[in-house]
Chains A and B, each alone.
Chain A
Amino acid sequence: MLDRSRIDLAALRARHPGHFGGAGRNRSVAIVFGGALLLLLLGMADLGFFGLNTLTGIGKLWDVTVLMLPPEPGSWAMFRLYLWGLIETIAIALLGTLVAAVLAVPLGLLAARNVTTARIVTFLTRRSLDTIRSVDILIWALIWIGVVGLGPFAGVLAFATSDIGSFGKLFSEAIEAADRKPVEGIVSTGGGRVLGVRFGLLPEVFPVLASQVLYFFESNVRWASILGVVGAGGIGLQLSEAIRTLELRQASFIILMILVTVAAIDLVSNQLRFALIGKRGQART
């Protein structure tokens, strides 16, 4: 056992100043975090967090939670309606994702610097993809509702347009990260650039693209469940209606249904993704 009284702390501190005061104690970091915290408090004050409203709101939130239990669909007919809404939701997400993925492949090629040599084309494609991406899916849904009317078709089109932006960017990044050698090999045999892309590039990036598409499908199912709030089809319509008419037990039942569906889809697509990536791993070795 070490005798504490015999340790000369002052001398140790003088010799190894870095080892005292703990790790990561840094003045500039502290200033940044302090500033962020101050901003947070100011923001909360600005939005009225420190009023009486908050307390009564929390009380009401408790009431709402109690009203939501236990979840129940109301009647058998309602349950069938919800089930159909859920199927519609999945259909919207699936179709929207697929259409966006197909349309995004040529755009991704256009936006990839190693495929498209004209810089002005890559620049313009990228900026338009950025613009598409920064407009939220709900806004796209509203615009498409104005075009094709209320219903799930508008939701499909909204997903298709909104995801083109994300897919185009992700695809172009995957293509830029791809190995150049297969393309050069094909070009060296006399195949043109188009053949080079088709047989040299696409087989290489396809598993990556497919796994990204699966990812987006998963998250799109979640998003599709709220498109109905603005009238673009799917279970969101029933959900927002149930919440607005304070049929909270039905609302919590719908939320439960969504949760279960999303979990099931996550499970399936996870396994699909592993299969895809595994295939790529086999091809590489």
Chain B
Amino acid sequence: MAVVLAAAALSCVAAEVSPSLFFAKIGNFTGYIGRLFHLDSGALVVTDPVEWYWGLARWARLLGETIVMAYVGTALGAIGAFFLAFLAAANVTPARWLSFTVRRFCEFCRTVPGLVFALMFVIAFGLGPMAGVLAIAIHSLGALGKLFAEVVENIDMKPVEGVQATGAPWHVSMRFGALPQVMSNFVSYVLLRFEVNVRESAVLGFVGAGGIGMDLFEAIRKFYYSDVSAILVMIVVTVAVIDIFTGKIRHRLIGLVEGR
């Protein structure tokens, strides 16, 4: 406990924490939140939804792009992770060194933040959704690769051994021995990752990597308060809807597995 407190105190110095500044400026925060919900004319946003959502068509298109980015990124990452997982899992890996290499590779993809990859891909592919998709795909590859490998490590080895006993090669024993056991878990993790990625792709636009983040960043930077709240509400609602939807699918999947 004392160690934690000491570390916290040191961090306060390093992070230039100043309570006085905080209390002096906290009014700005509530004021900021207040201004978010007022139009330029000073009226509350809800009184004039047409004015509030003046850019609905453009934002809806960008939001659609954001979701497509998240979908494609998740799918590409999941496909990669699917193949890597069987190489990385300690119990079925064809070779120890392969498992080690794949694990380190996934770790690398997971640790470097998606935004850094996005910055780099923006250099290579130019501004636009492509950079964002690749950044999401690589980050998902790292995260899902680890989770998938853990799922594979927890399987019952008997079916795999059974298939191997018939003389089947490695890929066949994976296909018929391991895959049926892990599929529902894989899908569940992918859906979870998709939820996360929708959130992340909404901010990738901050570095110019496509999606609604570009407009949001501009609105925040230029103090278009009502635009900020309009876009934020759209993002929050979309994320909530996607969460509920994928949550339903996940629960049905879990029910399927337990019902067997």
Contacts and interface: CB of A to CB of B under 8 A. Distances in A.
A49 interface: yes
Given A57-B124, A60-B125, A88 B14 contact: yes
Interface string B1-42: 000100110111111111001100110110010000000000
Nearest to B200: A136
Nearest to A39: B71
A223 interface: yes
A139 B219 CA distance: 11
Interface stretch (A106-114, A144-152, A181-189, A190-198): A144-152
What bracket does the count of chain A residues touching chain B fall in?
35 or more
Contact of B112 (A23, A61, A151, A259): A259
Contact of A151 (B16, B220, B239): B16
A250 B129 CA distance: 26
Given A136-B200, A258-B111, A60 B236 contact: no
Interface string A13-38: 00000000011100000000000100
Nearest to B125: A57
A130 B232 CA distance: 13
Contacts of B57: none
A135 B116 CA distance: 20
Nearest to A138: B203
B189 interface: no
B180 A24 contact: yes
A254 to B, nearest CB: 9
A40 B72 contact: yes
Contact of A155 (B4, B15, B26): B15
A134 B17 contact: no
Given A222-B111, A258-B112, A91 B10 contact: yes
Contacts of B130: 47-49, 53-54, 57
Among A146, A152, A258: residue with most chain B CB under 10 A: A146
Nearest to A22: B176
A175 interface: no
Contacts of B12: 91, 95
B45 interface: no
Contacts of A40: 71-72, 75-76
Contacts of B94: none
A88 B15 contact: yes
Contacts of B120: 61, 64, 243, 251
A244 B243 CA distance: 35
A38 to B, nearest CB: 11
Given A24-B179, A87-B14, A223-B113, A57 B240 contact: no
Contact of B183 (A24, A44, A251, A255): A24
Contacts of B124: 57-58, 60-61, 63-64
B235 interface: yes
Interface of A: 22-24, 36, 39-40, 43-44, 46-49, 53-54, 57-58, 60-61, 63-64, 87-88, 90-92, 94-95, 98, 130-131, 134-136, 138-139, 142-144, 146-149, 151-153, 155-157, 222-223, 225-226, 229-230, 233, 239-240, 243-244, 246, 251, 255, 258-259, 262-263
CB-based closest 4 A-B pairs:
A91-B11, A91-B14, A57-B125, A61-B124
